[in-house]
Structure 1
């Protein structure tokens, strides 16, 4: 897996974000001869420029949800403008009359955008599913679970070759108990990428915004017996110096290495590659 965007809420340019990165959520996973992309935040743009050199392409994009920070880069994803490519877009959180195609069409509509959905030249399919379903994905196994986020969101688990990755963002935890759906989805996963927008100390100011804390990520990872926790979806107010502090504190809370040889906790940054 490679992280192309690790920020939450809004992209953050500037020297103070140079090491961890300022692009919003985008994760690339390659396994079993397939390329899977999770979310289309601003980080999908540099990914698209890299992929465009290798057309024709067959790509799946899985959305946790369609808030702006997770779709803001979609219309700048170069493979969508090449007729040689096939792209499937998946979403499980939307409820009628909302559809994924309608959301993307609205994103590319005046007065917000200069061109319409018809500007895409790739073969595009919009794939709707009900969160909680397992999805067909070649030799990979993909399971999903609901996340606690305004307007809904989907968590994903990918299993292949005895390895497993969970992508859990955006979700708000409950202070008095762990989220059973997340723990069940992530049980004994090699890697869990978790919404760690806030610290426990900050959380009270943002209750109801739909996000969690890195400390809750530690608690969930321990409860689910996860090998490596990846702290992700960094708040825009958390610059490199702040994230260095999170990295130190998290390493003390979850020291050592997992059986895979990876650290038991990693703070995601743009360009990070993890091969469990």
Structure 2
């Protein structure tokens, strides 16, 4: 049995929300939009195809041929705009099972990924991709089994619809919950279910409470949550480790440092998502910061 078949590892390739935000003020946390990779029991699971998936793709070129599973939460631009630049999808011999829920307007994930690569938006169509792409429409609440890895999903509170995922394997679990907006008077039962006693909860905390309720520029109804709500969910669901994710593009490294300190004071077992961060759920070891693992995954940080 290979070493990877006994591991449950989570790697962050894109952690920013809404729009890619490169620049001198976002170097430490990163400016790429969402993409999270999980290596679970020998399987490779990829969540969302934001601009971070381009970097992931570059790191995978030396590991081809590839057999992986891609799960999309929804098709807002920041979660799919890196897919046309995912180089392994253009290489014959690679195989990707792609999962996503049908949108309220009836469009499938295949249709939406195809549409973003049509003229005048992109120079070449999705059909030019040489890899074996198998698209799977999943129902809300449906369970996907990949050998002994079980992936659950639940509806989130986001304009146009989004789903969150929970990955279960040999008594361990990681929840990927983005994009979602909390309710004003109660905790979201769907989020609590996904997060229940999870080893790791990755949660959309785009705003602070102050920004969310700002009298000048309220973010109510925008489809995102706050770090204060993340802490409430983590405590109520008895989560082992909380990861603050989907950082606002206006939040600088220094601002996120302060958010991280505030979160840690409220929930000590917490981390701020940053590009290159690797978390080993099984076997359990400390989370590795980007500089410690840069050589391992081919990143410059």
Partner of 2:68: 59
Question: Per-residue deviation at 1:96?
Answer: 5.3
Q: Is the 8 A contact 2:102 2:109 kept in 1?
A: no
The CA distance in 2 between the partners of 1:70 and 1:228, in whole Å, is 24
From 261, 271, 278, the counterpart of 1:273: 278
Partner of 1:224: 237
The CA distance in 2 between the partners of 1:253 and 1:189, in whole Å, is 18
Q: SS of the counterpart of 1:274?
A: strand
Q: Is the 8 A contact 1:65 1:93 kept in 2?
A: no
Matched, 1:87 2:92: no
Per-residue CA deviation, residues 115-157 of structure 1 (Å, 9 max, x unaligned), is 1112100011111011111112211111111000011111111
> Aligned-pair RMSD on alpha carbons?
0.9
The CA distance in 1 between the partners of 2:241 and 2:106, in whole Å, is 39
The CA distance in 2 between the partners of 1:214 and 1:57, in whole Å, is 36
Q: SS of the counterpart of 1:206?
A: coil
Could you tell me the TM-score, scaled by structure 1's length?
0.95
From 24, 36, 39, the counterpart of 1:30: 39
Per-residue CA deviation, residues 204-254 of structure 1 (Å, 9 max, x unaligned), is 211111000011000011111111110000000101000000011111111
Partner of 1:259: none
Aligned positions of 1:29-178 closer than 5 A: 29-95=38-104, 97-178=106-187
Q: Is the 8 A contact 2:19 2:249 kept in 1?
A: yes
Could you tell me the TM-score, scaled by structure 2's length?
0.87
Q: SS of the counterpart of 2:152?
A: strand
The CA distance in 2 between the partners of 1:185 and 1:178, in whole Å, is 12
Q: How many residues align?
A: 268
Q: Which runs of 5+ in 2 are unaligned?
A: 1-9, 282-301
Matched, 1:189 2:198: yes
Question: Per-residue deviation at 1:177?
Answer: 0.8
Q: Which runs of 5+ in 1 are unaligned?
A: 256-263
Change (3 A) 1:215 1:93: farther
The CA distance in 2 between the partners of 1:104 and 1:144, in whole Å, is 20
Partner of 1:11: 20
Question: Per-residue deviation at 1:97?
Answer: 2.9
